[in-house]
Amino acid sequence: MNQKQIKIVTIGGGSSYTPELIEGFIKRAAELPIREIWLVDIEAGKEKLAIVGELAKRMVKKAGLDWKIHLTLDRRTALKDADYVTTQLRVGLLDARVKDERIPLEHGMLGQETNGAGGTFKAFRTIPVILDIVEDMKELCPKAWLINFTNPAGIVTEAVIKYGNYDRVIGLCNVPENQMVSEAKELGVNRNDLTFHFAGLNHLVWHKVWDKSGDDLTQTVMQQWLDSNEQGVANIENIPWVAPQVLNLGLIPCFYHRYFYLEAEMLAKGLDDYAKNGTRAEVVQKVEEELFELYRNPNLEEKPKQLELRGGAYYSDAACELITALHNDKRTIMVVDTKNNGAITDLPTDCAIETSAVITASGPKPLTFGSFPIAARGLLQVMKSFEQLVVEAAVTGDYGTALQALTMNPLVKGASQAQEVLDAMLVAHYDYLPQFQAYIDAHLK
C-alpha cells in the first residue's frame, strides 16, 4: 500500500448513494490510507447531507476507522488540497429528471438519461457546474483526480477535457461492470477468468470477451444472451434482441444499445410504461424518500440492503476501486471514460471514449482497440458527433448548436421534432440553464 494519507471530497455528498461509497471505502481500508472525507452539498441539499453524513460517520465508526468525515456547504474549503474528488451531483434534483423523461415522451420520443433529449438537458444543466468545480480544482488542488459518475458521464468527461482543459478526469459507469459480472455468472466461471475488452462511448459501449486459453467467446456469450434473454439492468427494459443483427456485430452491445437497435419497441414500451406508471424518475423519487427514512435511524450503522434496489449497483464500488487502483498504481484493467488517444482509430484522438484501460498512478492508459467493424462504426461516430454538439451547446448556450445536437441523434425524427422538444425543455428547465436564459427570454417567453 502507498502509505501517503489521502483526502477525498464528494460533491453531491447528500446523495442517497453516499452510503454505498462509504461502504466501498471501508471495504478497501487496508489499501486506502484515508485521512478525511468531505461530503459537500448545496443549500437545497442541506438536510439530506446531514442525514446521510451522520450515517456515514456511524458506518466509519462501526468499522473501527479513524477517518474524519466533514459535512459542508463550502465547496472551496473542501477542495483545498484534495487528492480525489468524486461528483455525484444532480442539478435540479429529481424534479428535473422527471421533466427530462416526461417531456420527450409527451412528444413521442424517448427521454432517457443519457443518449436522448433527457440526457442532453442533464448535460446542459450539469456541465456549467462541473466546469466551475474544475476551475476551483485547478486553483485549490491541481493534482487531484476528478472521478465523475454524474450522468451523462462520457459527455461530462469530454467537456472537462475540451473546455475545462483538465486532463486529470475519469468518468465511470456501472454498465460494463454489470455486464462482466452477469456474463461470468451466465458462463459459470469466475469473473476474473474472463478477459474483456470494452470500447465505445458511455452507454454505447461494445465489448469482446475471451477465456483463460485466449479463445474468443464473444459470439458464444452473445448467443447465450439471445437464448436466455436475461441481459439487462434495472432501468432498461429487457426486450429481446434481433438475433442476426446483433450476431453480425462481432461485438457484444450494452443494454443501452436497445434504444437504437430496438428503437420502435423501446419507444412503445416507454410510452406504455409512462401511461401506466409515470416516469422512472418518479419511481426513484419514492425509493429515495424511503431510503432517507431508513438513513435517519440512528441505529443504522451500515448500508441498508434496499439501496441495492435503487439501480446504481456497482457505481460507487467502481469509484472506490478506481481510487484504490490510482493510489496504489495497481495496473489493473478497468473500464473508464477518458481521452481516446488512438484507442479507437475511427474517432478523433482528443475526444472522450469509454474504454478498457490500465489504471496506473499516473492515470488510465487505454488499450488499443483499433478500427471498429463497419457493422458498429457508423453508430459510434454519429453518437460521438451528437455528444460533441451537446458539449458545445452546453458551454456556449448556442440555440442552433443545441438544435443540431438533437437533430443529429438517430432517435430524433428530424429537426422539427427536435425543435419542439428543445423549446419545451428549455422553458421547463429555465432556472438551471443560465447559458440559455438570454435566448429563452428573447425567443421562447
SS3 assignment, position 343: coil
**Angle separating helix axes 415-428 and 117-140, nearest 10 degrees:** 50
C-beta closer to a copy of itself: residue 292 or 439: 439
Helix axes 280-295, 46-62, angle to 10 degrees: 50
CB of 42 to a copy of itself, least distance (A): 31
245 lines the binding site for a copy of itself (CB under 8 A): yes
Instruction: By CB under 8 A, tell whether 366 contacts a copy of itself.
Output: yes
Taking CB under 8 A as the rule, does residue 378 contact a copy of itself?
A: yes
Q: How far apart are CA 150 and CA 86, in angstroms?
A: 9
- Quote the least distance from Cβ 112 to a copy of itself, whole Å: 15
| 163 in active site | no
Q: Residue 307 Cβ, how far from a copy of itself at the closest point, in Å? A: 32
Candidates 140, 205, 343, 395; binder of a copy of itself (CB under 8 A) is 343
Q: For residues 139 and 167, which CB has a smaller minimum distance to a copy of itself in the complex? A: 167
Burial 243-253 (b: 16+ CB within 10 A, else e): eeebeebbbbb
Question: What is the nearest approach in angstroms of a copy of itself to the Cβ of residue 194?
Answer: 9
Cell output for 73: 456547504
Long-range contacts of 261-270 (CB under 8 A, 24+ apart): 263/410, 263/411, 265/239, 266/110, 266/237, 266/239, 267/108, 267/109, 267/110, 269/237, 269/239, 270/105, 270/110, 270/111, 270/112, 270/237
Among 418, 424, 426, 433, binds a copy of itself (CB under 8 A): 418
Nearer to a copy of itself, 275 or 374 (CB): 374
Site for a copy of itself contains 363 (CB under 8 A): yes
Q: Which is nearer to a copy of itself, 82 or 98 (CB)?
A: 82
d(C-alpha 236, C-alpha 269), whole Å = 11
Q: Does 252 bind a copy of itself (CB under 8 A)?
A: no
Q: What residues from 169 to 228 belong to the interface with a copy of itself (CB under 8 A)? A: 195, 197, 210-216
d(CA 357, CA 341): 12
Smallest separation (angstroms) from a copy of itself to the CB of 233? 19
Number of residues that bind a copy of itself (CB under 8 A): 82
Binding residue (CB under 8 A) for a copy of itself from 64, 244, 276, 298: 244
**Choice from 31, 106, 186, 265 touching a copy of itself (CB under 8 A):** 265
Judged by CB under 8 A, does residue 163 bind a copy of itself? Answer: no
The site string for a copy of itself over 391-410 (x = CB under 8 A, - otherwise) reads: -x-----xxxx-xx--xx-x
Rounded CA-CA distance 191/183 in Å is: 8
CA-to-CA dists, residue 239 to 2, 268, 280, angstroms: 46, 11, 17
Which residues on neighbouring strands pair with residue 145, listed in sequence order?
Answer: 84
In contact, 295 and 52? CB cutoff 8 Å: yes
Catalytic residue among 166, 256, 399, 432: 256
Locus of grid cell 431510503: 291
* CA distances (Å), origin 267, targets 108, 152, 270: 8, 20, 5
Residue choice 341, 396, 435, 437 for contact with a copy of itself (CB under 8 A) = 341
With CB under 8 A as the contact rule, the residue among 72, 219, 285, 360 that binds a copy of itself is: 360
Q: Does 345 bind a copy of itself (CB under 8 A)?
A: yes
Q: Which of 187, 287, 358, 444 binds a copy of itself (CB under 8 A)?
A: 358
Closer Cβ to a copy of itself, 73 or 367, answer by number: 367
**Residue 61 or 413 having the CB closest to a copy of itself:** 413
Distance CA 241, CA 258 (A): 8
Q: Map residues 52-91 to x or -, x wherever contact with a copy of itself holds by CB under 8 A.
A: ----------------------------------------
User: Hey, which bits of 219-351 come out as E strands?
Assistant: 332-339
Given the complex with a copy of itself, which of 243 and 309 has the nearer CB atom? 243
> Which residue lies nearer to a copy of itself by CB, 44 or 438?
438
CA 22/CA 18 separation, integer angstroms:
6
Active-site positions? 256
